[in-house]
């Protein structure tokens, strides 16, 4: 069933990407960038190498991190409940099937599209600064966010309000539990990474509105929808969402301060040269083998 869900998610997100590329970037622009991919990939490689280990650790050590949080983290769930009260029940009072369908779609598919598309979009720019800063902000969001998950152990509204807050995401589509378990744990509440990452994309969209004017309103509507979906579906407190917005602003600021100020690429030049030498050697060996085969 999980494979089927992943396949469906892949198809839906891919379709959204095709539509967005057509409307926002243009296929000609994307193909030109792909033909000149080497300098773009090379420029983004250092920050990508910083992002990938964070994602791997978050995936492989998630349960260990949850255990550490349960043992040593600050238990703030009761505090959130006292501060926020029954605010989250306002979303239950306006619940309807169309809203549940919309916010479920946004939480699962719209969120994934929102994170992937700007990477493709900024890849088409000759100047790689925006792409590198976006990837850097992603890495910072995950690094700081996972650290805060360990420090602050909390449960979401569902564990406090019980049947008053229905798990509408899973009621609408029970199989979604399989998908969400693969990427998150129910105690990973504060801050909301769905909120922080979508807000990060929105901030970058606003900053690049002169280059991609059609993307700014789209990203803004999707990002706000993601924030609302986390509360409507009973997954996060409003405090988690506010924490996510603060985290997003911090990560964008740090990324813009750090990336572009230091010439990391020059330090990697020896590694690039060695890699190029290996590729040339393999290519030469292959050409020699082909020549011997033709004789």
Q: Alpha-carbon distance 175 to 76, whole Å?
A: 30
**Could you tell me if residue 281 is inside a domain?**
no
- CA dist 131 to 8, 113, 170, 269, Å? 28, 16, 35, 20
* pLDDT at residue 178 tops 60: no
Q: Alpha-carbon distance 136 to 131, whole Å?
A: 8
Q: Alpha-carbon distance 267 to 244, whole Å?
A: 34
Q: Alpha-carbon distance 113 to 120, whole Å?
A: 11
More confident residue, 101 or 163: 101
More confident residue, 170 or 69: 69
Structural domain boundaries, residue 261: 2-274
The distance between the two most distant Cα atoms of the chain, rounded to a whole number of Å, is 83
**Could you tell me if residue 288 is inside a domain?**
no
Number of domains composing the chain? 1
**Could you tell me if residue 251 is inside a domain?**
yes
**Could you tell me if residue 252 is inside a domain?**
yes
**Could you tell me if residue 92 is inside a domain?**
yes
Q: Alpha-carbon distance 238 to 17, whole Å?
A: 30
Model confidence at 251, pLDDT cuts 50, 70, 90, reads very high
**Could you tell me if residue 192 is inside a domain?**
yes
Q: Tell the burial category of 235 from Cβ atoms under 10 Å away from its Cβ (0-12, 13-18, 19+).
A: buried
Provide the mean pLDDT of the chain.
79
Please tell me the predicted confidence (pLDDT) of residue 20.
Answer: 94
Q: Of the given ranges (77-81, 236-240, 290-294), which has the lowest mean pLDDT?
A: 290-294
**Could you tell me if residue 294 is inside a domain?**
no
pLDDT more than 90, % of the chain: 34
**Could you tell me if residue 283 is inside a domain?**
no
> Which structure tokens are listed for 203?
């901030």
Please tell me the predicted confidence (pLDDT) of residue 80.
Answer: 74
HSE-CB of 245 using CA atoms within 13 angstroms: 11
pLDDT tens track for 45-66 = 888 887 787 777 766 656 666 6
Give the chain as a 3 state SS string. CHHHHHHHHHHHHHHHHHHHHHHHHCHHHHHHHHHCHHHHHHHHHHHHHHHHHHHHHHHHCHHHHHHHHHHHCEECHHHHHHHHCCCCHHHHHCCCHHHHHHHHHHHHHHHHHHHHHHHHHHHCCCCCHHHHHHHHHHHHHHHHHHHHHHHEECCCCHHHHHHHCCCHHHHHCCCHHHHHHHHCCCCCCCCCHHHHHHHHHHHHHHHCCCCCCCHHHHHHHHHHHHHHHHHHCCCCCHHHHHHHHHHHHHHHHHHHHHCCCCCHHHHCHHHHHHHHHHHHHHHHHHHHHHHHHHC
């Amino acid at each position: 069933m999980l494979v089927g869900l992943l396949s469906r998610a892949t198809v839906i997100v891919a379709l959204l990407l095709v539509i967005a590329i057509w409307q926002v970037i243009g296929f000609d622009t994307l193909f030109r960038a792909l033909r000149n991919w080497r300098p773009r990939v090379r420029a983004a490689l250092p920050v990508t190498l910083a992002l990938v280990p964070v994602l791997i650790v978050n995936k492989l050590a998630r349960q260990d991190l949850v255990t550490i949080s349960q043992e040593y983290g600050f238990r703030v769930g009761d505090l959130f409940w006292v501060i926020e009260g029954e605010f989250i029940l306002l979303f239950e009072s306006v619940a309807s099937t169309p809203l549940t369908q919309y916010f479920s779609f946004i939480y699962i598919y719209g969120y994934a599209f929102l994170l992937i598309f700007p990477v493709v979009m900024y890849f088409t720019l000759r100047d790689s600064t925006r792409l590198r800063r976006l990837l850097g902000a992603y890495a910072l969001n995950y690094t700081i966010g996972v650290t805060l998950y360990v420090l602050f152990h909390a449960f979401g509204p569902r564990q406090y309000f019980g049947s008053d807050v229905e798990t509408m995401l899973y009621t609408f589509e029970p199989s979604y539990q399989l998908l969400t378990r693969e990427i998150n744990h129910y105690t990973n509440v504060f801050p909301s990474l769905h909120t922080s990452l979508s807000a990060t994309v929105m901030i970058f969209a606003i900053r690049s509105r002169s280059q991609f004017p059609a993307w700014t309103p789209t990203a803004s509507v999707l990002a706000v929808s993601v924030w609302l979906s986390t509360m409507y579906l009973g997954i996060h407190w409003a405090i988690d969402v506010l924490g996510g917005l603060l985290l997003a602003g911090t990560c964008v600021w740090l990324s813009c301060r750090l990336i572009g100020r230091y010439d990391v690429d020059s330090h990697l030049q020896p590694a690039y040269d060695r890699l190029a030498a290996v590729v040339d050697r393999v290519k030469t060996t292959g050409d020699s083998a082909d020549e011997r085969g033709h004789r």
